[in-house]
């Protein structure tokens, strides 16, 4: 424990310049978030009804940025800041395309809001600080091991995602601070192959770049979501294996379920374009048109090759929003 604390203090001295926000103030902006979700929520079966994670205070009115799956369909939200006393909060917005969520506390948290940094400037091999709620003891020195596109099994595509190592266990909503002491990412996942180089694979965490929040922040605060046309959503959970994309789950009452797609189906093409990876699958899917567009799929369905036309949907309309939204 002493060695870890010494390492964190050394990193803070090395990467946070004197003119940046003081280390104590910087770590105080990272809060604990506890969420309750109704058992009837769409996400309850996969994400649970009680969720815990972290977030970062970014405005004086108590606005906090976190990872969206933590607060999706929340009915109750409590935030714990440096005082240790829980404060009730409400869900302000959620963006599926980036994965960001916003909540606001009922009363402002008495900390200096964290300034948003420039995640585009974050390069591989750069030293960073990963922090969860709890001050110095909850901060970890890390290194950026990769910047690449991430394709998630839930119809999610994130360009230029940030991968760090070593991994931390409480990654959900964790803060990623760059050398200038500003926020450059929000924790999303544990990744077994954060670094991939030849035969060497290193585990770590994936962070959503904060640059993706900047252009949509005001719209999320005002409307609860960005106002650009939403991407088409089918309701598929998919995985890639040896250059092929298989369906492993179909969301109940989703567009895919309504046309008869099933687990075990192999997606061969989208709108006549071959699919060889999850990333290609999503790029072809999103290129067809916005939510509501019919998506032509060629699928190995059982023993037959079948052409499906899936009437895509807006994923936001599928989710049963809790009363805090």
Asked if residue 14 has pLDDT above 90, the reply is no
State the Cα–Cα distance between residues 69 and 55, nearest whole angstrom.
12
Residue 36 lies in a domain: yes
Residue 47 lies in a domain: yes
Let me know whether 224 and 240 are in one domain: no
Residue 325 lies in a domain: no
Q: Which two tokens stand for residue 298?
A: 């060629």
Let me know whether 175 and 259 are in one domain: no
State the Cα–Cα distance between residues 176 and 139, nearest whole angstrom.
10
Question: Could you report how far apart the first and last alpha carbons of the chain are, in Å?
Answer: 40
Residue 289 lies in a domain: yes
State the Cα–Cα distance between residues 114 and 174, nearest whole angstrom.
13
- Average pLDDT of the chain is 92
Asked if residue 7 has pLDDT above 70, the reply is no
Let me know whether 187 and 274 are in one domain: no
Let me know whether 245 and 194 are in one domain: no
Let me know whether 32 and 64 are in one domain: yes
Q: What is the mean pLDDT of residues 176-199?
A: 94
CATH number at residue 290: 2.30.42.10
Let me know whether 262 and 243 are in one domain: yes
Distance from chain centroid for Cα 22: 27
Let me know whether 71 and 185 are in one domain: yes
Q: What is the mean pLDDT of residues 212-230?
A: 96
The two counts, helices (H) then strands (E), for the chain are 8, 18
Contact between 308 and 260 under an 8 Å Cβ cutoff? The reply is: yes
Q: Which two tokens stand for residue 236?
A: 């598929």
Residue 117 lies in a domain: yes
Let me know whether 40 and 103 are in one domain: yes
Let me know whether 252 and 207 are in one domain: no
Helix ranges restricted to H, the chain: 2-15, 23-28, 44-47, 68-71, 217-223, 255-259, 278-288, 315-318
pLDDT for 182: 96
pLDDT for 198: 78
Distance from chain centroid for Cα 37: 18
Q: Which two tokens stand for residue 296?
A: 């032509």
pLDDT for 5: 42
Q: What percent of the chain has pLDDT over 70?
A: 91
- Quote the domain boundaries for residue 143: 1-228
Q: Give the residue among 165, 291, 155, 318 at the shortest CA–CA distance from 236.
A: 155
Residue 324 lies in a domain: no
Domain-ending residue, one of 228, 249, 272: 228
Asked if residue 16 has pLDDT above 70, the reply is no
Residue 323 lies in a domain: no
pLDDT for 22: 67
CATH number at residue 39: 2.40.10.120
State the Cα–Cα distance between residues 67 and 54, nearest whole angstrom.
8
Asked if residue 47 has pLDDT above 70, the reply is yes
| 218 contacts: CB under 8 Å, gap ≥ 6 | none
State the Cα–Cα distance between residues 240 and 246, nearest whole angstrom.
6
Asked if residue 21 has pLDDT above 70, the reply is no
**306: which strand partners?**
299
Q: Give the residue among 181, 179, 169 at the shortest CA–CA distance from 205.
A: 169
State the Cα–Cα distance between residues 42 and 233, nearest whole angstrom.
15
With b for 16 or more beta-carbon neighbours within 10 A and e for fewer, the 86-102 pattern comes to ebebbbbbbbbbbbbbb
Count how many domains the chain has.
Answer: 2
Residue 120 lies in a domain: yes
Asked if residue 323 has pLDDT above 80, the reply is no
Region of 37 on the Ramachandran plot (φ > 0 left; ψ -120 to 50 alpha; else beta): beta
Domain-ending residue, one of 205, 228, 251: 228
Domain-ending residue, one of 228, 255, 271: 228
pLDDT for 31: 98
Let me know whether 196 and 254 are in one domain: no
- Give CA torsion, residues 176, 34, 9, 115, to 10 deg: 40
Whole-model pTM? Answer: 0.91
Let me know whether 88 and 195 are in one domain: yes
For 59-79, what is each residue's pLDDT tens digit? 999 999 999 999 999 999 999
Contact between 25 and 181 under an 8 Å Cβ cutoff? The reply is: no
Asked if residue 297 has pLDDT above 90, the reply is yes
Let me know whether 212 and 176 are in one domain: yes
């Amino acid at each position: 424990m002493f060695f870890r604390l010494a390492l964190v203090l050394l990193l803070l001295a090395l990467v946070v310049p004197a003119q940046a926000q003081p280390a104590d103030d910087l770590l105080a902006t990272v809060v604990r978030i506890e969420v309750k979700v109704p058992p009837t929520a769409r996400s309850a079966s996969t994400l649970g009804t009680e969720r815990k994670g972290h977030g970062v205070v970014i405005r004086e009115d108590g606005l906090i940025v976190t990872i969206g799956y933590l607060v999706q369909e929340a009915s109750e939200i409590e935030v714990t800041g440096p005082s240790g006393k829980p404060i009730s909060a409400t869900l302000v917005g959620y963006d599926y395309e980036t994965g960001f969520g916003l909540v606001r506390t009922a009363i402002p948290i008495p900390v200096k809001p964290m300034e948003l940094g420039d995640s585009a400037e974050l390069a591989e091999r750069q030293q960073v600080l990963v922090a969860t709620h709890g001050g110095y003891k909850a901060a970890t020195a890390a290194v950026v091991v990769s910047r690449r596109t991430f394709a998630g099994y839930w119809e999610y595509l994130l360009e230029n995602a940030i991968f760090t190592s070593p991994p931390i266990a409480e990654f959900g909503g964790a803060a990623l601070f760059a050398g200038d002491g500003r926020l450059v990412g929000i924790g999303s996942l544990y990744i077994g192959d954060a670094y991939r180089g030849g035969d060497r694979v290193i585990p770590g965490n994936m962070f959503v770049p904060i640059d993706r929040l900047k252009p949509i922040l005001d719209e999320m605060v005002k409307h609860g979501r960005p106002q650009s046309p939403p991407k088409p959503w089918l309701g598929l959970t998919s995985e890639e294996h040896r250059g092929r994309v298989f369906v492993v789950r179909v969301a109940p009452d989703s567009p895919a379920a309504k046309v008869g797609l099933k687990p075990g189906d192999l997606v061969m093409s989208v709108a006549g374009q071959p699919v060889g990876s999850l990333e290609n699958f999503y790029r072809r899917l999103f290129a067809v048109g916005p939510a509501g567009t019919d998506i032509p799929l060629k699928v190995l369905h059982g023993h037959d090759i079948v052409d499906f036309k899936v009437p895509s949907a807006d994923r936001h309309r599928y989710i049963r929003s809790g009363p805090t939204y």
